[in-house]
Structure 1
């Protein structure tokens, strides 16, 4: 508990010091985007930052003159909670996941005027909130190493759990239960349209039947290396990662039986110093031209129903593992954002305890 308090204090000190330094006049939260605007944009870092700069920020600068400062924080929700509670928010746009938007809309994130966002009418029911419209979607896909399994190959999610017929290690990301819990339940006989509320104990019991054959990767980089080095020969992981892994040297092939999908969104934090300009930037980013460009750069798929993903210039590996393109892709089911917003913490706690138990 003491270490948690120390972390919070350290974050608070950083936020307050950052807010206090410099002599520039305070930004006007109600001012529209213009040449004097600097929007602070929180991203996941690495290639994602460059992709967001090219697809969203640089075109917005060309249109309005507004500039951007990009920041990356691994513990961004904890940091944002501290900012909002201290009324010292220094970020303007945050890139986050579906269940976090649902969980914190109205407390950490600002409401938006959905009537100003045409994209809101083009996304699946249940994916918008008062604070957000989804931007891109991705999936938890099942894939296997085709250089290992030949002739008799996996064709269903149940084959992930059949180590007698398909021996070898399976690798999953240890850090999140999303996707793997759904896969385990469908493999155990739950109908894809009857998944929620999730029977987590049943899913863990199913996973327990192959626990000795599962590698729990601490990061997506480690998961990738397990497959490239053939320490593992199957995985259920993010569809975008599967393409990267294939391009890195693993002969992965998708199994189109059951796939669950999720989405992300760009939101404006409570107390944003440039709230009006930030909302303009988010609205701009949800326009088709920007979303298509981002999809081409990132491999993610626009959520908007009026954008045909088959017309996006994905890489060949990106196309191979994309469950949203034309063709028989089996059952593709949304990971219920309402369920995960309410239950993520408890499911994650069970998932982690089960791994080490």
Structure 2
């Protein structure tokens, strides 16, 4: 318990010290984005930051004159909790997942004017008072074509058939999202009857191949396991599969059951440039900006008026994208409301099962 308290204190000290060393520059008159505005944008880092710069930030600067300061934090929710509680928020835009946007709307994230967004062009249940979905991605099953020839995997059930398809399976062990759903469908649950999730049943199904699972500590480790042939089958994000293929992977997708999820951009409570940040959020939702971001990242706009078949994805980005082309089987949304309400409990069970 003492260690936990020290960790929380350390995070708080870091955040408050950062705020004390220099607050964000003042916004332009009336809070609108302009040359005097610097929007602090929290992102996932690496290539993702570069994609957001090119697709959203640089064009927004060209339109308004506003500048951006990008920051990356793997524990951004913990940092936001500290900032908001201390009333020392120093970020203006946050890139976050679907269930987190729903879970923390009103507590950590500012409300937005939904009348400024085309909410009729996104699936029901994907908006909140604080967010509109931007881009979607999927958890896709794939196998190594150099290992499985002739008789190859064709269904999600084959992921659990180690007799016909021997070899290690790998996925990111940090989250059960998408994995639990796949296990249940493989065990006979209809995709439209998944929720509420029978987590006990899903873990029992996963236990049948537990000795053949590699629980990767990161998506990079998933990539290494597949490129190095330590694993021959995976359930992982479609964007990552494109990267793996570009890095020497020899994979093919299985279009049977695939789950999808989405990310949103939100404004944290107490943002020093909230009005300008909300302008930037509206800008990210413009179709041409979404298409540019999609082409760079391999992700897919959620808006129904943006045809993914018109986006210039890379060859490998298109290969593993369930939203492009036809005949991609069942593609089901991970219920954001259910996960917002149950993520903590399910993750605890997932972690206990892994180490048990």
Tell me the equivalent position of 2:180.
Answer: 181
Tell me the equivalent position of 1:340.
Answer: 339
User: How do residues 76-91 of structure 1 correspond to structure 2 at under 5 angstroms?
Assistant: 76-91=76-91
Describe the shift of the 1:225–1:25 C-alpha distance in structure 2 as closer, same or farther (beyond 3 A). Answer: closer
TM-score by length of 2: 0.98
- Name the CA distance, whole Å, in 1 between partners of 2:146 and 2:131: 43
Tell me the equivalent position of 2:111.
Answer: 111
Tell me the equivalent position of 2:124.
Answer: 125
Contact 1:38/1:69, CA 8 A, preserved across alignment: yes
Stretch deviating more after TM superposition (243-252 or 177-186): 243-252
Q: CA deviation at 1:96?
A: 0.3
Q: 2:304 matched to 1:297? A: no
Tell me the equivalent position of 2:282.
Answer: 283
Contact 1:138/1:262, CA 8 A, preserved across alignment: yes
Describe the shift of the 1:30–1:204 C-alpha distance in structure 2 as closer, same or farther (beyond 3 A). Answer: farther
- Name the CA distance, whole Å, in 1 between partners of 2:259 and 2:217: 21
Q: CA deviation at 1:24?
A: 7.8
Tell me the equivalent position of 1:15.
Answer: 15
1:94-131 Cα deviation digits (max 9, x unpaired): 0000000010000000000000123x221111100000
Q: CA deviation at 1:18?
A: 2.0
SS at match of 1:166: coil
- Name the CA distance, whole Å, in 2 between partners of 1:4 and 1:57: 37
Q: 2:187 matched to 1:201? A: no
Contact 1:39/1:274, CA 8 A, preserved across alignment: yes
- Name the CA distance, whole Å, in 2 between partners of 1:8 and 1:113: 34
RMSD: 1.3
TM-score by length of 1: 0.98
Tell me the equivalent position of 1:147.
Answer: 146
- Name the CA distance, whole Å, in 2 between partners of 1:23 and 1:263: 31
Aligned residue pairs total 356
- Name the CA distance, whole Å, in 1 between partners of 2:25 and 2:133: 33
Contact 1:28/1:273, CA 8 A, preserved across alignment: no
Tell me the equivalent position of 2:348.
Answer: 349
Stretch deviating more after TM superposition (237-246 or 79-88): 237-246
Contact 1:136/1:303, CA 8 A, preserved across alignment: yes
Q: CA deviation at 1:325?
A: 1.2
1:235-257 Cα deviation digits (max 9, x unpaired): 00111111111111121000000
- Name the CA distance, whole Å, in 2 between partners of 1:178 and 1:82: 26
Describe the shift of the 1:107–1:22 C-alpha distance in structure 2 as closer, same or farther (beyond 3 A). Answer: closer
Describe the shift of the 1:104–1:122 C-alpha distance in structure 2 as closer, same or farther (beyond 3 A). Answer: same
SS at match of 1:328: coil
Contact 2:298/2:313, CA 8 A, preserved across alignment: yes
Provide runs of 4+ in structure 1 moved above 6 Å.
none
Q: CA deviation at 1:15?
A: 2.1
- Name the CA distance, whole Å, in 2 between partners of 1:45 and 1:4: 26
Contact 2:27/2:34, CA 8 A, preserved across alignment: no
Describe the shift of the 1:99–1:22 C-alpha distance in structure 2 as closer, same or farther (beyond 3 A). Answer: closer
Tell me the equivalent position of 1:267.
Answer: 266
Tell me the equivalent position of 2:164.
Answer: 165
Q: 2:230 matched to 1:227? A: no
